[in-house]
Each structure stands twice: as C-alpha cells, then as structure tokens.
Structure 1
Amino acid sequence: MQSTDHRFLIAPDPSLARLTRAVTGIDQSGAEVALSVVEERPLTIFLNSQEIVTAMTIGDYPEYLAIGFLRNQGMLRDGDTITAVDYDEDLDVVVVRTDRQTSYEEKVKKKTRTSGCAVGTVFGDMMEGLEGLTLPVAEVRTSWLYSLAAEINTTPSLYLEAGAIHGTVLCQRDRPLVYMEDVGRHNAVDKIAGWMLREKVPAGDKILYTTGRLTSEMVIKTALMGIPVLASRSGFTAWGVEIARQVGLTCIGRMRGKRFTCLSGAERLVWDMDPGSVPEEDRKHRRKSAKG
C-alpha cells in the first residue's frame, strides 16, 4: 500500500475496511452506541522451512512485520540475503527465505518451555545483542520534536479513529517518513525495522517516535536497529531508562504540546525553539491518548 499522504512514504489508512469492525453496545446511560474497533488476526512467520512464531496483528504489511521480527530477534543477520518473501493471505502465513541455511530449534524450544510465551527468551537474546553496541552521534533539535509531535498527532490513523492500538513513526529531522500501527507496540516497531532492512535505509540519522510506553523492550529494539533517538507521548519504565543510559540512546517521553522530558542522552538536545511559542495540544488528542 502506498501512502496517500504526500508527507509520508507510508502512512496509516484508517479507511481500510479489513482493519476495523463496527460493533454496537450501550453507553453509561443505556443508550445504544456504535464503535469502530480494531480487528486482530494471527500471522504465522516461517524462516525458510521452520515455523518461528504466531503473532496477533492487524494484518497490514505482513512482509515487513515478518522481516522486522526476524531481524530484531537476531535470526536475520548482517550479510544475510533475503531471496524471497511469500505471503499467503488465506492461510495468514509469511515465509521469509534466505540464501543461508537456518536452524533455530533451540530458540523455539526455549519459547515452548516458557508456556508458549516468548518474552523471556526473546528478551535474553536481545540483551546479548547490546554488548559493545555504540550508537551514532546525532543532534536532536527541539524544533524537530515539536514539529513531529504536531504532525503525527493530527495525521488520520487507527489510533485516532478507534484507539486500542499503538503507532510507531520513523522520522528524519523534522519529517515523519513511515508510520506503522498495530495492536502491539513491538509489532509496529518490527514493521519499521522490516521496511528499513528491505529498503536499505540507514538508521544513524533517524528518530523513532512511538505512542506507547518507553519500556526496556522498546529501548532495546530501537538500539539494536541503530537508531540513536527514541521519543514518545507516553512515560518511561526504570529499566528502559537504565538500558537507554547504558547504550547511549537519547530517550524522550511525555511529549505533549510544549512539554517533554528527557531522561537519557540529553547531551544530544539542541534548544532552538522557545517552548512558549508552541501551542498546547488539542484536547481531542489528549482524550484519545488516554483512551488508546
């Protein structure tokens, strides 16, 4: 899907019928209401002949999600050549094929031993990838942050339309490039990673913006992607901040209107805009953020 918004290379399209469903219910007064709610569907990812994981997703950009997931878990390595990416919409399956023979039986077994939850295994593997990691030096102008927040928060999206979803945006300076959404913030980040890998996009001059919390997982994935700056509307976790400081990631949260807080990498910030000249955020976006 190509973006219909000239400001983005890829932007959300909340009008796509398969992404949401109309559901009726009642409100606090007993009156009937109709809501647009986000669809979830399973997507099974294969690497060559091995089944790796089944993820719940909204179903857009499955190829980018599969490639990004495998890359962020270290299953696709630097130098690997992707020979094909096959998506079967009827089966909800993506097969990523490489010229290198792959086998991750131990990793899949470890995932099974944790009662089907891959979080512990995935987290440990990703932490190992941070050893010796050095992120590139990159300045961050506060004018870029204000411009990005204003533009992203007013872009038509499922986040504004239906809530219950996370958005992640790859940005360069004050321009948002690729805006991905999904029910899990990790999926949205993986889609970005997949697009960057597929399109051979450098990471050292980019900013990653998310609507979700700045957790350890978000910090680790951003660092492993080689992106030096991570920003969010939401808050931080202590472990996320600790890891960001360890790897030299600039971590900026609570970006609302003229306000933001930087808890890691503040030496990259360049204050080139007076916060007093920035308008307060529109109330409808604050309300949607609280609901989403």
Structure 2
Amino acid sequence: MNNIYSKTKLQENSKDKVFENSYSLVDYKYLNSFNVEVSKINEHEVSIDNEEIIAEYPLSFILNDKYINTFLCTPYNLEELIVGFLKTKGYIENKKSLLKFEINESERFAKVTIQEKQKNQDEQIIFLNSLDYITCAPVKSNIKINYDTIYSIMDKNLNSSELFKNTGGVHSVSVFNFDKKIVTCEDVARHNAMDKAIGFCVLNDITLKDKIVAVSGRISLEMILKAAMTQIPIVVSKSAPTNLSIELSKKLNITLIGFVRGRRMNIYANPQRVIKK
C-alpha cells in the first residue's frame, strides 16, 4: 500500500480553527493513554494518586470526498480501523480497491478514495424492521474446532491486552488460525477493535474464511454482521450475546459461542462446528 498511503505527522505547533462560542474538549495528542491525577477513597480515607487512563480519539472519515462517520477510537492501528470498517460495511472486497489513503493525525481525519465494489449475488436481504435492512451472504465454511482450542484462544486473547492491564478501559479482539494467534487489536469500542483486526488481515492478504475470532466483550448484531461480511465462521466471547446476534448467527451460518470462562462455555448457534477432541 505504500504507493497510495500517506500519513501527515503530528505537528506540535499546529492549532485548530477557533470559532466563537466553541472549544475543543482536550488538546488531542497521538497517544494511547494519559496519566491523570485522581482522588482515591478507601472507606473514609482519601489519597491522591496518578492513574493511567485510556485515550479516546475522534477520527473523522471522508470516503470518495463524502463525510461518512467520526470514530471515537483508541489512536493506534488507524489504517487497520478504516480498512476493516470499509470491508465490514461492504465498501471494498480487498486492498486492491483502495486507490488513495491519507490519515492526518493533527487534523484528526482520514480521507480515502476507493473503487466501487461489485454486488455479491449470494447476498441475502434481512429486514431489521419495516424501514431498514441488511444484505449479507451466509458463511460457507465447514471448519471444526475442539473444546480445548476454544478455551485456549480465549485465554490468549484476554492475556494479550496490555492496554487493558494498564487501564482497564479497552476491548480486545484476536484472530486465530485454530490456536495460533494471528493478531490482537484493542480499542475503547469493541466494534472498532474488530474492524482493526479485520483490517489487519485485509492489508496482509489473510483470508478469514477459515479463521476464529475471539472477543473480550458482549456480542451484538453489529459484531456478527462484521463476521458475516468477511465470512468468519466462528465467533467466541467471554461475555453474553444479544438475541439479535443469535438470530443473525443462525441465519448466516456462524457458530456463536459465549461465556467462555475457564473450562465452560455456551454455544448459541450452529454447534456442528464444535467437537470434543
């Protein structure tokens, strides 16, 4: 991607435009975390201490000269975040669709130009309500995974998160080839962490059709849709799923596993991919 990607370095002396009756929340810097002074109370005793706090960074996204979204994210792996978002929203098929790619850290925006994606004839229309629907193709993988591998990958995902150990403020998402970890990504938002992990795979030409994703947080419909858009067959979480995530997993042939803690787990959809040994 070096021929299409440019990154503007942070300029310490750059200043935002100032408008009357407006202000910036903080002086944003390209850091993952900040040290903040806090008052700690234990019973009736008060002490002053410094604590490491996770950063929340606003990144506005412009696609083909049109504003799309502002991400509130942890400010690292931003290329992967944008590429994963484009992939899971159906804008691109692979990195060859990326024509121009710029991230401006000081002005806090990403600007991307892409080729228009061709429609997938296998896609199904799934109505969320009378006004909104999604289109997505069912997952076709016949991959099998055993109990011990599931327990192992969840443990590896949770122990890979250095930012969580330091701040307690991020979600982690890991992609596995069975019990071999490919990548772990962290973010204040679990859907951003998943986009980062998927974006890493897209940028490195790693197929997701036979991979397993391990998630530290709750599984929502949005997370399952991201898995389906990249043909991920198995999603594993230490937490609970929502009812819509279970329903969508069943419709799109995704194996959904939750509450993986120690040597226990619940399989909510498509258990045929899970075997004892």
2:70 matches 1:54: yes
- In the alignment, is the contact (CA less than 8 A) between 1:135 and 1:227 conserved in 2? no
The alpha-carbon distance between structure 1 residues 209 and 46, as it changes in their structure 2 partners (threshold 3 A), is: same
2:164 to 144, 151, 159: 159
Give 2:79's aligned residue. 63
Q: Once superposed, which parts of structure 1, at least 4 consecutive aligned residues long, lie more than 6 Å away?
A: none
The alpha-carbon distance between structure 1 residues 100 and 235, as it changes in their structure 2 partners (threshold 3 A), is: closer
Q: Tell me, what secondary structure is at the counterpart of 2:112?
A: strand
Deviation at 1:45, TM superposition (A): 1.2
- In the alignment, is the contact (CA less than 8 A) between 2:209 and 2:230 conserved in 1? no
2:40 matches 1:35: no
Cα distance in structure 2, aligned partners of 1:152 and 1:188: 12
The alpha-carbon distance between structure 1 residues 237 and 34, as it changes in their structure 2 partners (threshold 3 A), is: same
Identity over the aligned pairs, expressed in percent? Answer: 24
Deviation per CA, 1:58-98, whole angstroms, max 9, x where unpaired? 11011111111122222225696212321111111212222
The alpha-carbon distance between structure 1 residues 63 and 143, as it changes in their structure 2 partners (threshold 3 A), is: same
Q: In structure 2, give the amino acid aligned to 1:56.
A: L
TM-score normalized by the length of structure 2: 0.78
- In the alignment, is the contact (CA less than 8 A) between 2:157 and 2:173 conserved in 1? no
Deviation at 1:19, TM superposition (A): 0.6
1:22 to 32, 35, 41: 35
Structure 2 gaps, min length 5:
1-29, 118-127
Give 1:205's aligned residue. 210
Bigger shift: 242-251 or 66-75?
66-75
Give 1:262's aligned residue. 267
Deviation per CA, 1:125-174, whole angstroms, max 9, x where unpaired? xx5222x5233111011121122122222235212221121111111100
- In the alignment, is the contact (CA less than 8 A) between 2:89 and 2:229 conserved in 1? no
2:193 to 177, 188, 196: 188
Whichever structure has more helix as a proportion of its residues is 1
Cα distance in structure 2, aligned partners of 1:165 and 1:100: 33
TM-score normalized by the length of structure 1: 0.74
Give 1:226's aligned residue. 231
Q: CA RMSD in A?
A: 2.3
2:148 matches 1:143: yes
Give 2:220's aligned residue. 215
Bigger shift: 52-61 or 141-150?
141-150
Cα distance in structure 2, aligned partners of 1:157 and 1:32: 25
- In the alignment, is the contact (CA less than 8 A) between 2:62 and 2:110 conserved in 1? yes
Bigger shift: 67-76 or 229-238?
67-76
Q: Based on CA coordinates, which of the two structures has the bigger radius of gyration?
A: 2
Whichever structure has more strand as a proportion of its residues is 2
Alignment size in residue pairs: 234
Cα distance in structure 1, aligned partners of 2:161 and 2:139: 36
Cα distance in structure 2, aligned partners of 1:182 and 1:79: 22
Deviation per CA, 1:177-198, whole angstroms, max 9, x where unpaired? 1101111111111112222222
1:169 to 167, 171, 174: 174
Structure 1 gaps, min length 5:
1-16, 102-119, 273-292
Q: In structure 1, give the amino acid aligned to 2:170.
A: I
Cα distance in structure 1, aligned partners of 2:36 and 2:148: 41
Give 1:86's aligned residue. 102
The alpha-carbon distance between structure 1 residues 152 and 80, as it changes in their structure 2 partners (threshold 3 A), is: closer
2:114 to 77, 86, 98: 98
